[in-house]
Amino acid sequence: MNPVIELQDVCRTYRIGDNTVQALRGVSLSVEQGEFIAIMGASGSGKSSMLHILGLLDSPDSGQYRILGKNVDTLSEDERAGVRNSLAGFVFQQFHLLRRMNVLDNVRLPHIYSGMKGDFRRDAEERLRLVGLEHRISHTPGQLSGGEQQRVAIARALVRNPLVIFADEPTGNLDTKNSYEIMMLLRGLNEQGKTIIMVTHEPDIAAYAGRVITMRDGLIVSDERKEGPRYAEALREELPSVLRSADKDIIWGTGRISGFIFQAVQSILANKVRSLLSVLGILVGVASVIAMISLGEGAKAAMQEQLKSMGSNLLSVRGGSAKIRGSALGAGAVTRFTMKDVEAIAELRSLVKRTSGVINGSGQAVYANRNWSTNIEGVGYEYGFIRSAIPSAGRWFTPEEVRRREKVAIIGVTLVKELFGSSNPIGKTIKINRINFTVIGIAPAKGFSGPRDEDDLVMIPVTTAMYRVLGKDYLSGIFVEAARPEQMEEVKSVISELIRKRHRLHGEDDSFNIRDMTEMQKMLSSTTETMSMLLGSIAAISLLVGGIGIMNIMLVSVTERTREIGLRKAIGARNDDIMLQFLVESVGMTLIGGLFGIATGIGVSLMLSFVAGWAVKTSLFSVVLATLFSVVTGLFFGLWPARKAANLKPVDALRYE
């Protein structure tokens, strides 16, 4: 029959700086299934080094190690983890129980890495009954005595029904009574056929074993066999089924991920204050992203609203060239529009929704003993609708008033203030260039456009302005509102053609020009975009800072839990498992931060809109973006700590103080 374990000329040398320690100098050993071996020797003789190699926690520098006839050198990292998970059970002097978890979860922990589905509660309970601790299932390790903790560790070592139990000084931290109980347990297991390899330096402990191997200075110096192997357990000769559990695909197919999520929640809760603080960083970052985007979008929407009130379908037809040519064009070359042109344009019913001639000038407005020089705007009936100039106080002109050149006026708020102070101007008579006008309304306030006060004006019917006030028979320009925005270009060319025909214009140089508002719109939207980008980058910086906070906490967490990582590797966690566990934890934290951040961000936005009256607009897009961002932050900043954890060597991690 093949030996379970075979060492041949195994050497292990540790290097610390320039010093080398030869812990094993050529050890050969053959173990059969069912044996109970005690490895004895003075401290530093290489017992633990050998046990670590046997348990695949460490690899030899030279020599061969065969397990069930298979050379372990040929195994990949993941396959070795698979072997540790299903063929080896470890019991350590320091117990290495995870303190956050209760007894039951500690015992069934190896199952997470087994690649099998299920909760394995029954398995764990059965093993706990075996070690006499079934009544302590929901206790945490801290609530147990040393002897009880070691019994839990033995139950954990047994849960995967391993081929060999490796025990390194299992009674080293226990008193005589507890040592005795543990040894009786191990002995009982051996009597049922379990192979046990145990390190001890106490002869009375070694006396429980059937075979005692003594080491000195990295060599086996004696090997005494009192009892042969026990054959109660069915003999195992195959390795392949074990190796299959190390298959990469298995990771997604089983409960591993949900196990990791559960553990991540546990460990986040275990350090509540710390987790809260690092989550807070992400929360602030995401909240500011949401609030900033809401603000940016709100500003954009407000601007668009404003543009719409200006008339996005608006065309302005003016005399003079679009190309600025100084005095190259004489005054006579400028096209002078008349009311007839306005009527002709209004005839284009399918293309033109509204049109109005306008004439600008300036004059003196007088009321009682006050006078003020102001802008005079002669406008048509439809102008009020085209430019949103309908008064909120008073009324707009009627078409009749425009046709009959009546002396009615709508005055801007600046003029109201200058002429009337706080009294009501509607119905009063004012003089404009010494002609009496009745005030019928107050124009909606528009504020300043550049240095120009848009509210310092008096609007009167365009006909009145031309023939009675300004004494001109031509217009300054014509406003046209196109029926549909997508027809702007067509409307432009049709109107252009119409004007050429009516004014008998030929040649390249138009003596008039037609402009639309798209230029204006472009300028405004680029302004809001710049603002959005600025706000966005502030938010991104705060998210970056939050992410660095997460990375920092994860690094601390990895360092703090080095021994836990070592233990997990010892019970069969592969590098991917460890990495995933830490990634799930960091993404968990950033995601929690992200979700609360979204809520906070929306709250802040609403507050800004209520309290400060700012325009805000929270979009689903920004919520999705923020969620995505927080996940990516978790992945990005968790990756390095997680890799650091995953790449730890099992022995080094276990020894970490």
Mention every residue, 6+ apart, whose C-beta is less than 8 A from residue 160: 85, 86, 89, 110, 111, 114, 572
3-state helix, strand, coil in the chain (%, to 5): 50, 20, 30
Surface-to-core class of residue 278, CB atoms within 10 Å of its CB (0-12 exposed, 13-18 middle, 19+ buried): buried
Q: Is 61 in the site for ligand ADP (CB under 6 A)?
A: no
Q: According to CB under 6 A, which one of 6, 27, 40, 48 is a site residue for ligand ADP?
A: 48
Binding-residue total with ligand ADP (CB under 6 A): 12
Instruction: For the CB of residue 170, give the shortest distance to ligand ADP in the complex, in Å.
Output: 13
**Four-CA torsion 66, 71, 72, 73, nearest 10 degrees:** 140
Q: Which does 100 bind (CB under 5 to 8 A by kind): ligand ADP, Mg ion, none?
A: none
User: Which residue, 48 or 179, has its beta carbon nearer to ligand ADP?
Assistant: 48
Q: Is 178 in the site for Mg ion (CB under 5 A)?
A: no
Amino acid at 296: G
Q: Which does 46 bind (CB under 5 to 8 A by kind): ligand ADP, Mg ion, none?
A: ligand ADP
Beta strands in 338-395 (DSSP E): 352-367, 370-379, 393-394
Residue 618 · residue 605 · CB < 8 Å: yes
Q: Is 277 in the site for ligand ADP (CB under 6 A)?
A: no
Instruction: For the CB of residue 93, give the shortest distance to Mg ion in the complex, in Å.
Output: 8
Instruction: For the CB of residue 199, give the shortest distance to ligand ADP in the complex, in Å.
Output: 6
The 10 Å CB-count burial string (b at 16+, else e) for 503-537 is eeeeeeebbbbbebbeeebeebeeebeebbeebee
Q: Is 49 in the site for ligand ADP (CB under 6 A)?
A: yes
Q: Is 45 in the site for Mg ion (CB under 5 A)?
A: no
Q: Is 171 in the site for Mg ion (CB under 5 A)?
A: no
Segment contacting ligand ADP by CB under 6 A, of 13-21, 131-139, 223-231, 262-270 = 13-21
Instruction: For the CB of residue 196, give the shortest distance to ligand ADP in the complex, in Å.
Output: 17
User: Which residue, 355 or 562, has its beta carbon nearer to ligand ADP?
Assistant: 562
Q: According to CB under 6 A, which one of 4, 23, 284, 573 is a site residue for ligand ADP?
A: 23
What is the 8-class DSSP label of residue 312? T
Residue 458 · residue 432 · CB < 8 Å: yes
Q: According to CB under 6 A, which one of 1, 16, 234, 620 is a site residue for ligand ADP?
A: 16
SS3 83: helix
Instruction: For the CB of residue 554, give the shortest distance to ligand ADP in the complex, in Å.
Output: 26
Q: Is 48 in the site for Mg ion (CB under 5 A)?
A: yes
Nearest alpha-carbon partner for 151 in 121, 116, 188: 188
- Alpha-carbon distance of 486 to 351, in angstroms, equals 11
Instruction: For the CB of residue 49, give the shortest distance to Mg ion in the complex, in Å.
Output: 8
Place of tokens 């008064």: 391
Q: Is 14 in the site for ligand ADP (CB under 6 A)?
A: yes
Surface-to-core class of residue 142, CB atoms within 10 Å of its CB (0-12 exposed, 13-18 middle, 19+ buried): exposed
Q: Which of residues 495-534 bind ligand ADP (CB under 6 A)?
A: none
Q: Is 179 in the site for ligand ADP (CB under 6 A)?
A: no
Q: According to CB under 6 A, which one of 10, 38, 45, 283 is a site residue for ligand ADP?
A: 45
What's the distance, Cα to Cα, between the start and end of the chain in Å? 42
Segment contacting ligand ADP by CB under 6 A, of 44-52, 251-259, 453-461, 546-554 = 44-52
Instruction: For the CB of residue 78, give the shortest distance to ligand ADP in the complex, in Å.
Output: 23
Q: Which does 172 bind (CB under 5 to 8 A by kind): Mg ion, ligand ADP, none?
A: none
Segment contacting ligand ADP by CB under 6 A, of 46-54, 71-79, 274-282, 302-310 = 46-54
Q: Where are the alpha helices (DSSP H) in 503-571?
A: 518-560, 562-570
Q: According to CB under 6 A, which one of 6, 35, 37, 47 is a site residue for ligand ADP?
A: 47
Mention every residue, 6+ apart, whose C-beta is less than 8 A from residue 333: 509, 511
Instruction: For the CB of residue 171, give the shortest distance to ligand ADP in the complex, in Å.
Output: 15
User: Which residue, 94 or 627, has its beta carbon nearer to ligand ADP?
Assistant: 94
Q: How many CB atoms lie within 10 A of CB 119?
A: 12
Mention every residue, 6+ apart, whose C-beta is less than 8 A from residue 69: 2, 237, 239
Q: Is 21 in the site for ligand ADP (CB under 6 A)?
A: yes
Binding-residue total with Mg ion (CB under 5 A): 1
Where along the sequence are the contacts to Mg ion (CB under 5 A)? 48
Where along the sequence are the contacts to ligand ADP (CB under 6 A)? 14, 16, 21, 23, 41, 43-49
